[in-house]
Amino acid sequence: MADVRRAAREWAGSLDASPGRALYLVGLSGGGDSVALAWALSHEASSFGLDVGAVIVDHGLQPGSSEVAQRAAQEAQALGLQPVVIKSVNVEGTSNLEDTARVARHRAFKEALRETGAQGVVLAHSVDDQAETVLLGLTRGSGPSALKGMPSRDGILHRPFLGLSRETLRQALVDAGKTWWEDPHNSDERFTRVRVRRQVLPVLEQELGPGVVQALARTAELFRADASALDEDARTWFDAHAITRDDGSWAVEVSALEQLSVALQTRVLRMVVVRAGGEAPTYAHTAQMMRLLEQWKGQSAVDVSGASVERRDGYIVARASR
């Protein structure tokens, strides 16, 4: 119990001071992790000048989901959290339910922030979630962007419990006499993350010895430190060299790009796409753009994550797809 409250206290104390009281929303599902977060912040946040509310996303993925959302709202109110917002989203009929649900959930978070004026959403991801994320990224060949795992702060999202285990969070609730809801999807092995949690990680712990979860989380921390340094170097280079044009396109000169390491080249090319209005490119899309740089044979433009990227007149040029 003490570890959970300490983590909540350290997070609240780490926030930049601002005039008046700041509002943050707990991303509350009613499950053990998020209830532990709501409980801890209900005790610790006020002394740091923070108000805490909750945003509950009803994905509608199982019968009775609206009742679960209402019970979570009641629990939040019983803990003194205000305001409490319920958002319903529709993710049925999609080929990748996990990714689609996450995108819909984050969109709901942003809506809740606009409606309430809150400054961020606080999530209860644990060290176990971090280990699963790193392992999934490793198996998918996602590179440093996935191996660095989830940051403790990512824009509007805050994760104060990345250093705590799922077991620690639930034990804190038991000690406090609190109950929680078990999402049946957390044991549904149709989902890749559930299979990693229930089958892969236990085998690794059994065959390699205890500490695999902590080692994977530590790997994420190390990757994050290195990746952050490279990201900052790429941003500095981009700000100094990239140009924007009247048509909204962004461009970087090929001869200047060629002076960079591959690690910086790929980052700069991703920035070009995002600045032009596209989404963050995948590994495959980045490889296509690198061919425009390294294996130029007069190729036509490539479609990359909502942008069109081409090599023209000595520049790599990206513009939003129409």
Q: Please say if the pLDDT value at position 54 is more than 60.
A: yes
Say what the pLDDT of residue 50 is. Answer: 94
What's the pTM value of the predicted model, to 2 decimals?
0.81
Alpha-carbon gap, residue 73 to 275, rounded angstroms: 39
pLDDT category, 170, cuts 50, 70, 90? very high
Greatest mean pLDDT range, 62-71, 115-124, 279-288: 115-124
Which tokens go with 136?
């999934």
Q: What percent of the chain has pLDDT over 90?
A: 69
Residues 199 and 75 in one domain: yes
8-13 mean pLDDT = 95
Residues 60 and 193 in one domain: yes
* DSSP E strand stretches across the chain: 22-27, 50-58, 84-88, 120-122, 153-154, 157-158, 243-244, 250-253, 302-304, 307-312, 315-320
The CATH number assigned to the domain holding 292 equals 3.30.465.60
Q: Which residues of 295-318 are buried (b: 16+ CB within 10 A; e: fewer)?
A: eeeeeebbebbebbbbbeeebbbb
Say what the pLDDT of residue 86 is. Answer: 96
The pLDDT tens digits of the residues spanning 241-285 come to 999 998 999 999 999 999 999 999 999 999 999 999 998 888 888
> Among the three residues 208, 231, 265, which one is the final residue of a domain in this structure?
208
pLDDT category, 91, cuts 50, 70, 90? confident
Lowest mean pLDDT among 99-103, 121-125, 132-136, 314-318: 99-103
Alpha-carbon gap, residue 101 to 90, rounded angstroms: 8
Q: DSSP code of 281?
A: P
In a domain, 220, yes or no: no
Alpha-carbon gap, residue 116 to 82, rounded angstroms: 10
> Among the three residues 156, 185, 208, which one is the final residue of a domain in this structure?
208
108-128 mean pLDDT = 96
Say what the pLDDT of residue 322 is. Answer: 66
Q: Please say if the pLDDT value at position 20 is more than 70.
A: no
Q: Please say if the pLDDT value at position 16 is more than 90.
A: no
Residues 14 and 152 in one domain: yes
Alpha-carbon gap, residue 40 to 124, rounded angstroms: 11
| Sheet with 307-312, side-by-side order of all strands | 243-244, 250-253, 315-320, 307-312, 302-304
Coil/strand/helix, residue 209: coil
Say what the pLDDT of residue 138 is. Answer: 83
Residues 305 and 195 in one domain: no
195-210 mean pLDDT = 91
Say what the pLDDT of residue 182 is. Answer: 83
Phi and psi torsions of 100, nearest 5°: -65, -40
223-248 mean pLDDT = 93
Question: What's the structural domain count of the chain?
Answer: 2
Q: What percent of the chain has pLDDT over 70?
A: 95
Alpha-carbon gap, residue 268 to 230, rounded angstroms: 10
pLDDT category, 310, cuts 50, 70, 90? very high
pLDDT category, 5, cuts 50, 70, 90? very high
Alpha helices in 82-126 (DSSP H): 97-116
> Among the three residues 158, 184, 208, which one is the final residue of a domain in this structure?
208
Q: What is the DSSP string of 289-301?
A: HHHHHHS-SS---
Q: Please say if the pLDDT value at position 96 is more than 90.
A: no
- With the CA atoms of 77, 46, 113 and 6 taken in that order, what torsion angle do they form, in degrees rounded to the nearest 10? -100
Residues 190 and 283 in one domain: no
In a domain, 132, yes or no: yes
Lowest mean pLDDT among 17-21, 56-60, 114-118, 157-161: 17-21
Alpha-carbon gap, residue 272 to 255, rounded angstroms: 16
In a domain, 41, yes or no: yes
Say what the pLDDT of residue 282 is. Answer: 81
pLDDT category, 33, cuts 50, 70, 90? very high
Residues 144 and 272 in one domain: no
Amino acid at 63: P
85-113 mean pLDDT = 84
In a domain, 217, yes or no: no
Query: Residue 30's domain spans which residues?
Result: 2-208
In a domain, 65, yes or no: yes
Say what the pLDDT of residue 26 is. Answer: 98
In a domain, 230, yes or no: no
Token pair 């995002």 is found at: 274
pLDDT category, 142, cuts 50, 70, 90? low
Residues 84 and 156 in one domain: yes
